[in-house]
Structure 1
Amino acid sequence: MLGHATAVLRPSGHPDRGETDLDEAIACEQEALQLLTSGDPCYEEYRRCLIAYLQIKTRSQVTTLPSNSSPAANFDIKQVIRDVAFEKLKAIPPRLLHTVTGFLCNRDAQISHFMHSQEYDQLLSSCATCDPSQQMKLIRAEVSKYFRFVTLSHRWGEGEPLLRDIEDKNVYSMSAKDGLGKLQAFCAVACEQGYLWAWSDTCCIDKGSSAELQEAIGSMFAWYRRSALAIVYLSDVPNTGSFGSSEWFRRGWTLQELLAPRRILFYTRNWSLYKNRTSSNHKADAAMLEELEGATGIESRFLTNFSPGMNDARSRLQWASLRRTTRPEDIAYSLFGVFNIHLPILYGESAENALGRLLVEVIGQSGDISILDW
């Protein structure tokens, strides 16, 4: 493209480069993007170039813009912020509950909340006055902070709300019965902890879409790892009880939900912190770690610093050996994230077939045939 070549041949700071060159480069990149689809091999290259040119133009403007600059003058920086926000959202669940309003939001709604927030206005103001070389660092930090989210780990019970049950509804206004009551309490606790966004596997996945379900299962470990906090709800543990006998420790999916998060808090039946331990992270509590080791048979070094992959493959299979899942094949699927492998989800196959596919992949990558004796 002519604009692309012009910008490359006359980079920012070149004595022969004027504002017209940069505007032409931006226009050419925009025109190219309109002609391409997101699946085109060249699409990402043109998009990155466009963002880079917009950043160059923004930096040159910010040095002379007053903090009360007009909306038109702020157009470029707004686009950069929006692009950074969309990139951030690609790495987190596509649907999240807004803990203040109680509504389930897709990515467009999440972006809309951000663009109308006080945090967004403050970011615009900060970008107009900060050192241009620090703008992208500031934008990424503030966007990441805004979209921090909390995950729920729990044992499914009666009346769990599904996606269709809460779409376009305020969960706080719905009947607090069974699973809905749990969802309301979870969102309220997440909000009290200072987070705007929350995710539950009951209602934030369209289980009627096989493609979305496949993506969600493949991304589950990463979502729990990237969450700012995982809240574990132990519905069968009274406030004064011990969690060692909880069914939560016997379920297949909760293994990765224990290992993946860097920060975790356990709550009892009435939504009190387990044994009133008020530390910000129960994985950093020595007494809690000792109890967790006893309940799971997993060494504390794995509980606090777990890396998905093939190391200690036999141990990982042993951790799962006493756990159960409602659907037999899920015992294999629930380990995909633990081993960091990606295989098709084939609901309807036998547990033996699913485990067979898992073991073949693990042996193929690790070379450890001793896992067959797990």
Structure 2
Amino acid sequence: MRLIQANVSECFLYITLSHRWSESGPLLRDIEGRVIYDMPVRGVQAFCAVARELDYLWAWSDTCCIDKHSSAELQETIASMFAWYRHSALTIVYLSDIPDTGSLGNSEWFRRGWTLQELLAPQTVLFYTQNWSLYEDLTPSNHTADIAVLEELERVTGIETRFLTNFSPGWDDARSRLQWAALRHTTRPEDIAYSLFGIFNLHLPVLYGEPAENALGHLLSEIISQSGDISVLDWVGEASSFHSCLPAHITSYERLPSSQPQRHTEEQPSTTSQALSLFDILCDLAASLLLQFLSRFLTSPSTAPADRLRTLDSYAPSDVYDFHSLNRVPLP
């Protein structure tokens, strides 16, 4: 039975393609029922040729394997996309705009929203350049295990190596995950929120046509609800019409999060203690405004829990924190 299971598993190993075509790629209806090598779609043909060369029997490309005209299939696809890349034996990243002598950072692939999870989800990744050559003629079995490539990826994406080599979807370090997506963009504005569902291991409705602010608002409120992490409220920019405690655009997370507040002691008096204590007030106010979204307690950046609201009179002189940017949490 073990031998049968091993053989069957090997037969159904598949590789996935991550790409940003320089022109419109083929869709399911373009290739359905046809032999791929008889069609003028060189990118997909080259991908299939690489799959066969590497002894894989199955290859998956999103534009060719998803019926985007079916709303039900599209919903299921977005919910499953991260898992499909995670369970693939290999993900080929095709950088169509990078010549053989080019560098990763010049590719548009690193500025697209959907490709973020396509970088983080797979266990094994190989980068191919414009002419379908391995990046910099490197011949490792996994580019995300190559120290030089990892260092370059960290510079290009701002994502720490530990996440690039061993990423787990979820809510840990939520503020950083949002920052990774801050400078990325999608063709449909609401997709910038949908493309992060897998990163946070969330399953939310996909409603194409809804305002992008609403899509992002639903995502952020669910992150706070599930994790209790109000570092998500650390942003700078335009407030959302969905909720004024949330940003209107993902670009509001571009800046680094403000540093962890440090408590003043009685031996370190501050002349701005009244203003500094406003930090706790704002945190509690933000918590109260978001209670409608929450199913769990919030965690406060301070050492005091934020599972209860406190009045101004309840703040002791020592209950004061360094706070560098009072305008980071916009009031409604």
TM-score, normalised relative to structure 2: 0.70
Deviations 1:202-235 (A, max 9, x none): 1100111111111111000000000000000001
Deviations 1:303-331 (A, max 9, x none): 00000001111100000001000000000
Alignment equivalent of 2:174, drawn from 291, 295, 313: 313
Identical residues among aligned pairs (%): 74
TM-score, normalised relative to structure 1: 0.62
The one-letter code matched in structure 2 to 1:168 is G
Deviation of the 1:140 alpha carbon: 2.3
Deviations 1:101-156 (A, max 9, x none): xxxxxxxxxxxxxxxxxxxxxxxxxxxxxxxxxx1x33322211111001000113
Instruction: For residue 25 of structure 2, give the secondary structure of its aligned residue in structure 1.
Output: coil
The one-letter code matched in structure 1 to 2:34 is K
Deviations 1:164-199 (A, max 9, x none): 111110010112xxxx11000011011111111000
Name 1:255's counterpart in structure 2: 116
Unaligned runs of 5+ in 2: 235-252, 254-332
1:217 aligns with 2:82: no
Alignment of 1:27-66 (within 5 A): none
Deviations 1:73-119 (A, max 9, x none): xxxxxxxxxxxxxxxxxxxxxxxxxxxxxxxxxxxxxxxxxxxxxxx
Q: CA RMSD in A?
A: 0.8
Name 1:342's counterpart in structure 2: 203
Seen in structure 2, the aligned counterparts of structure 1 residues 157 and 238 have a Cα distance that, compared at 3 Å, is closer
Alignment equivalent of 1:290, drawn from 151, 158, 161: 151
Unaligned runs of 5+ in 1: 1-134
Rounded Cα–Cα distance in structure 1 between residues aligned with 2:206 and 2:21 = 21
Rounded Cα–Cα distance in structure 2 between residues aligned with 1:156 and 1:336 = 23
Instruction: For residue 202 of structure 1, give the secondary structure of its aligned residue in structure 2.
Output: helix
Name 2:90's counterpart in structure 1: 229
Deviation of the 1:266 alpha carbon: 0.2
Name 1:41's counterpart in structure 2: none
Instruction: For residue 34 of structure 2, give the secondary structure of its aligned residue in structure 1.
Output: coil
Is the helix fraction higher in 1 or 2?
1
Name 1:117's counterpart in structure 2: none
User: What is the total number of aligned residue pairs between the two structures?
Assistant: 235
Deviation of the 1:261 alpha carbon: 0.3
Rounded Cα–Cα distance in structure 1 between residues aligned with 2:183 and 2:53 = 35
Deviation of the 1:288 alpha carbon: 0.6
1:351 aligns with 2:212: yes
Alignment of 1:16-31 (within 5 A): none
The one-letter code matched in structure 2 to 1:181 is R
Rounded Cα–Cα distance in structure 1 between residues aligned with 2:196 and 2:5 = 32
